[in-house]
Structure 1
């Protein structure tokens, strides 16, 4: 009899798991509203299902419905207080609500800290939680518990788990604290250790922020040699156009970007034409600049910088 009952129950369990996998795929495909409605219906017949509750929290979070996401993740924290990832997600949506509502932010800080530190204590290998703590402690004012030393403490914990993450975290802390030389040091260490596009982008952004466009272009070129991404051609052209340096190289890179463009490159071709217009303004080529800005406006007619650039060109 028990074996017979088990055989009856098994298909129901498989169906249940299959349904959640289907709903999870909606989230991966960014069909968040569809996932939300199906999860609400699912939980009516499967109340207390942890996976469904977590997915519903995720669906709410992706839609920036912070209050609803908080409710779902809080259920998980209360039901499974020893699960680090539930505390991490709960702290994350509390943090997003705090950013959205500055008046309520002060009252949420304690709960945010508690959620993240609990997650870190429960899982000594939880990288995302440590990143959250690095950012939290460096961004919080001292009066609310902000602390550079605590931020660096969690950056060191990250380094112990992943050298690249640790170096990036330390670079982030020093950049935020206006110590660009130390930020540069750690971003370079991240590039030497890992060499991902993220590592190169962090260093490039730092150089642009510090008004060092020559170093920015050199770093992007190094990234291009390693990764061979068309999007990096646009980045070189952008820096050249913004800082009026290496204009010939910038123009060539932008033409290459347009020629090889695909949607996966991210930045629409219109922006490459806008940068080409800027470069030709620097070179006093009014006719060519006007041609490129008109092409940019033809593709994206509502972009204000494009309109402003055209007026600038007409006034030459």
Structure 2
């Protein structure tokens, strides 16, 4: 497989503590790669090492077939666009003027300014002063700056932070278009599960600087196992009865105060479930409710990290 980014045993130590620990990422070319983790997990530090803004304590970064080091740094950066943290801009200048300054600093043709404005849907307000832009428009201007020169790789660090739902949707749609229409690879970091779920094809989950999961989003969702929940009049006696009949079952709690005890079973065929219900009723155990349950993306994340991230 062709990889846009690979890291090998990448480490960063601050004050004797590893903030990024032996990280091995393999990011395929031509996709949106979601870099997911709670705040403080090491996402921004990793992305800064990819850009040569932070020097690794150990390990290596390989980008678009070249190793990121002092010798290759400028060559590698010429193929990358990035938006790390908040976009910088001159409020008294127009969006177009801001991009023209950025194009001069990056050494790219100013003709790419109009193309970048078109991609992020700001061409109609390109001559408007940036201080009059909405937060979402400013974020899109920052992405337009990253797109100057048509880079092969885009790194976006928490690009939807602070945006309202409409602004989030705009940025999400923009990011999803980049690989399909322009052949770019996009690495986007986020602590928002719902955003990564709707944007990325490939995903890496990091926590405390360590990579916990890396694969397609489809594989991550496959971790979600369906189960059956039965609410009965006597859950403990029901559990004992099913174990006697060699039906795998367990007790769990539900409800807002976690006081309701329910019977949890794996997914069963209709005939198997009918047999379970018949056995319970024959033993005078009432069945009040049957529900199908499936782990959410947040549940899967909690299983991997032991702590939560935001859903929206």
Q: TM-score, normalised to structure 2's length? A: 0.27
Query: Higher strand proportion, which one?
Result: 2
